[in-house]
A and B are shown apart, each in its own frame.
Chain A
């Protein structure tokens, strides 16, 4: 029986003191602060960009070179990440072997490793005086301070995004789909090609987009391992960094372009995730 039903006439029941509480309202101003923190720099970039000179700046050889190189390097890195990353994800998701946790940790380490450390590590392994330097030299392969090196650096830091995305999708895939294909007579490779890959397509696309975004923005490992040579290893982020020392407007324009590309990736990503 509640207070209301037992209270006599003329006497209001005491209001129940239980309520929603108000402490959670503190989260609103903090959320607003977060929004400001993320939005203000973007507004700054857009407001300061020399829109009038955009055309002239865009056709500068250095800018065009950097843009072209960025596309080449990041797309090559994504392709390389797919070719070696998917098999990594597949082995991790499908097989239980001793040291699996360690392998998994090693494959995802580049996500948390400072990129400059990745660059130093690559140099120590594949540079002229690195661990495999003499071997590469005998084979006539020069990676450090070359476009190949820039691709390798971008792959190193970006591939884990693809690997993790694919591995999670493979782990969560209903094994009965593959079982069904097997009982129908499909070989393992055919099952992979006709059942597994189509079923996890959205995750692969999302992984590719994240991987590409990371490769496109790669700076630390690239400048450490591949250096900053226009036309060879100077990708967009490196060009921004260099322009900032001498040509402020150029840096702003280059940054604006990168912002546009990132936004485009994000929009594409949302589309592929929603499927």
Chain B
């Protein structure tokens, strides 16, 4: 059970051309500068950007293959996404945000809410069930968004810049929550981030992309030992500078 992705997307004159695979349970981090195409990779796997060429196979199930015109819509992919900015539904309570997926899949309101409540408990935010997203802190909102993505039991988890909107304090806490969540998650996880520190803290393996191409792939230790680009080297040196007391 695993992910195999061969992704070619053209977006406004920009070519994205990335192939990789991952065994189940692995946490991948997709790192690179802004505009490198990281979010597009994520969108392609989720079914939000159609491929131009290539294919995506998740757990032996074909999600998309351009050659044979197979293309499952996002609804049928069983891929959970933590969107950049979280994309919580502002008009719904935390509970109903989490219950949205089960409701959309046909569960009645009472059962969906009951299930959502157990997920809020799992993330230790049951007491926030009735709050609107606007009344949640950054860290709390992220837990709600994680619960909303996980309640439908996706086969894969995609996380787009999970820390970008958080202040320094919430970020430490959020990273811990996320590390726990990813450890417990049985499928492949892919974290998109432009911050190397986050990637190093969370991932088993790094995928480095620049200008729409995969330029390096390896464990955090391997990438740190021999960074494949000047940009990556700069990020690493900043990272080392940050770590100094």
List residues of A whose CB falls within 8 A of some B CB: 174, 176-177, 179-187, 190, 194-195, 198-199, 201
Contacts and interface: CB of A to CB of B under 8 A. Distances in A.
Interface in B102-125: 104-105
B104 A186 contact: yes
Contact of A184 (B43, B85, B101): B101
Contacts of A194: 89, 100, 104
5 contacts: A182-B48, A183-B48, A185-B152, A187-B75, A194-B89
B83 interface: yes
B48 A179 contact: yes
A179 B104 contact: no
Interface string B127-153: 000000000000000000000110010
B74 A199 contact: no
Most chain B CB neighbours (cut-off 10 Å) among A180, A186, A190, A199 = A180
Interface string B39-68: 000010011100000000000000000000
A187 B74 CA distance: 10
Contacts of B79: 183
B100 A176 contact: no
B239 interface: no
Contacts of A177: 87, 89
B90 interface: yes
Nearest to B100: A184
A194 B103 CA distance: 11
A185 B87 contact: no
Q: What range describes how many residues of B lie at the interface?
A: 20 to 34
A185 B105 contact: yes
Given A183-B79, A184-B149, A195-B89, 10 more contacts: A179-B74, A179-B83, A179-B87, A180-B83, A183-B77, A183-B149, A184-B148, A185-B75, A185-B104, A185-B152
B75 A198 contact: no
Given A182-B48, A184-B152, A176 B73 contact: no
B71 to A, nearest CB: 14
B81 interface: yes
Contacts of B73: 182
Interface of B: 43, 46-48, 73-75, 77, 79-81, 83-85, 87, 89-91, 100-101, 104-105, 148-149, 152
Contacts of B91: 198-199, 201
A176 B87 contact: yes
Contact of B104 (A174, A176, A190, A199): A190
A181 B85 contact: no
Contact of B84 (A176, A187, A195): A176
Identify which of B43, B81, B84, B104 gathers the most chain A CB atoms within 10 Å of its CB.
B104
Contacts of B47: 182-183
B85 A176 contact: yes
Contacts of A184: 100-101, 104, 148-149, 152
Contacts of A180: 81, 83, 87, 89, 148
Contacts of A186: 75, 100, 104
Contact of A174 (B77, B85, B101): B85
A183 B89 contact: no
B75 A182 contact: yes
Contact of B87 (A174, A190, A198): A174
B32 to A, nearest CB: 20
A137 B74 CA distance: 49
Contacts of A179: 43, 46, 48, 74, 81, 83, 87
Given A176-B84, A190-B104, A183 B74 contact: yes
Contacts of A198: 89, 91
Contacts of A201: 91
A213 B43 CA distance: 43
Contacts of A187: 75, 104
Nearest to A198: B91
A178 to B, nearest CB: 9
A195 B87 CA distance: 11
A176 B91 CA distance: 15
A199 B152 contact: no
A272 to B, nearest CB: 15
Nearest to A195: B89
Among A185, A190, A201, max chain B CB count under 10 A is at A185
A174 to B, nearest CB: 7
Specify which of A174, A183, A186 lies most central, judged by the most chain B CB atoms within 10 Å of its CB. Answer: A183
B48 A181 contact: no
Contacts of B100: 181, 184, 186, 194
A-B pairs, top 4 by smallest CB distance, nearest first, are A186-B104, A184-B101, A176-B87, A182-B74
Contacts of B87: 174, 176-177, 179-180
